Chain A
């Protein structure tokens, strides 16, 4: 199925999925917890080095606990690596005889650019055409969270969200549009304040049928 190859794109994803299928995931998770605080202290030391190299005084009051705070913040920004779609979706798929479009729009999204480790943020709009199975609405937002709280590239993020919904629900079609501002473009580099990047993935009926796609875009995007 065309969705399968997406698992390989984000290296970590592939690892987690394979482990899970072989039943090794649980054991891996336990040993990972043991070394979590180890990892935190490595990241903390790295941040202390960074502060020093930038020319700051690591011992001044405002920066005393910054390495720890920054390390925890960074772990929060990448918490999506530890989460899987299966964990959050398992209970919230329901059988409904509904085959009209379901849209959840304006889902706030925060991610980290994998090239510069600088945030990018925006909104995601998701639509799907159910095929006997609907999903709890907040689960769509949770799927966005799982994949966005990682080191990402906007194109891949969009595709991963669409693939996850496709695999979980097997709907007649899925559409995902993300509109985001990239701080790596705003705060540095070209420094264009108002530029925003829009990516979209249309699967199933959304891809084949232009009227369906148009209906989604009109309902979700046009004000």
Chain B
């Protein structure tokens, strides 16, 4: 299965240098990721573990046409929900709510329609720069996959280029692609780090996300001020405490 997928892509991004050598084997090379859904060929691995390289080849699970075709059934589902909650879907304020809510939900999960390779293709440049590059305070909005309630916060990304740098807004775009999905914060952090690693093969990548989970604030334990912080450190960020320290100090300042 992997061989046929490799042929599909012929892009120069995934040469022999591949994924494991740059990270010095510290990364175990596998990452749990959500199964891609019905559009994947049935012969794909059935388990949730897949090699890291796969994120480049992630098939889109949705297209713009799919969105339009799903809208009526999404709207019908939302009408059922409104009725189930005891509201009157015919009152003026709620008349078009099912459609609005359906479109909103499709927007909140638009990351399923996008692929990293589309967003990054042209913005990788050869630069002889090997000092840390940090983009911090990237606002992030996601949806909790357990309660379908928003998560929002900030993402801080740092990487040590290895002859190749990335257009800065592309880091924010990677965050967008992965956060506009039904997510778990731990997985989101890892996916962002892995995508940057695969795109640039840098010496190291660090991603820190601090977010507020509405499922904890609006319901359940109802702790208003709590924040969840997750981080992924790859390559030299993981091995060298001084590099990690520098990164963490710079994102705090």
Contacts and interface: CB of A to CB of B under 8 A. Distances in A.
Nearest to B38: A57
Given A46-B77, A47-B81, A118-B150, A188 B104 contact: yes
Nearest to A81: B86
Given A53-B73, A57-B35, A119 B145 contact: no
B219 interface: yes
A contact face: mostly helix, strand, loop, or mixed: helix
Interface string A164-206: 0000000000000000000110111000010000000000000
A60 B84 CA distance: 26
Contact of A121 (B35, B85, B145, B218): B218
B81 A46 contact: yes
A116 interface: yes
B108 A110 contact: no
Most buried by A among B74, B91, B93, B217: B93
A71 B184 CA distance: 19
A114 B93 contact: yes
Interface centre among A39, A62, A77, A153 (most CB of B within 10 A): A62
Contacts of A45: 80
Nearest to A78: B85
Contact of A60 (B34, B148, B219, B224): B34
Nearest to B139: A193
B93 to A, nearest CB: 5
A101 interface: no
A62 B181 CA distance: 13
A19 interface: no
Contacts of B85: 39, 43, 74-75, 78, 81, 151
A109 to B, nearest CB: 10
A57 B34 contact: yes
B219 to A, nearest CB: 5
**Chain B interface extent, by class:** 35 or more
Contacts of B81: 43, 46-47, 71, 74, 117
Interface string B138-177: 0101000111111010000000000000000000000000
B37 A55 contact: yes
Interface stretch (B94-102, B192-200, B228-236): B94-102
Interface string A46-76: 1101110111110011110110011101111
Contacts of A6: none
A53 B76 CA distance: 11
B80 A115 contact: no
B219 A54 contact: no
Interface string A149-171: 00101000000000000000000
Given A70-B148, A184-B104, A187-B108, A62 B84 contact: no
Given A43-B85, A49-B73, A55 B97 contact: no
A53 B74 contact: yes
A45 B81 CA distance: 9
B215 interface: yes
B207 interface: no
A61 B145 CA distance: 11
B66 A116 contact: no
B127 interface: no
Nearest to A39: B84
A208 interface: no
B21 interface: no
B13 to A, nearest CB: 25
Contact of B141 (A55, A56, A187): A187
Contacts of A115: 93, 96-97, 100
Pick the most buried of A55, A75, A193: most chain B CB atoms within 10 A of its CB: A55
A106 to B, nearest CB: 11
Nearest to A48: B77
Given A62-B145, A69-B147, A117-B104, 9 more contacts: A12-B86, A42-B80, A45-B80, A62-B146, A74-B81, A77-B218, A81-B86, A121-B218, A187-B150
8 contacts: A39-B84, A62-B146, A66-B146, A66-B147, A66-B148, A70-B147, A116-B97, A116-B101
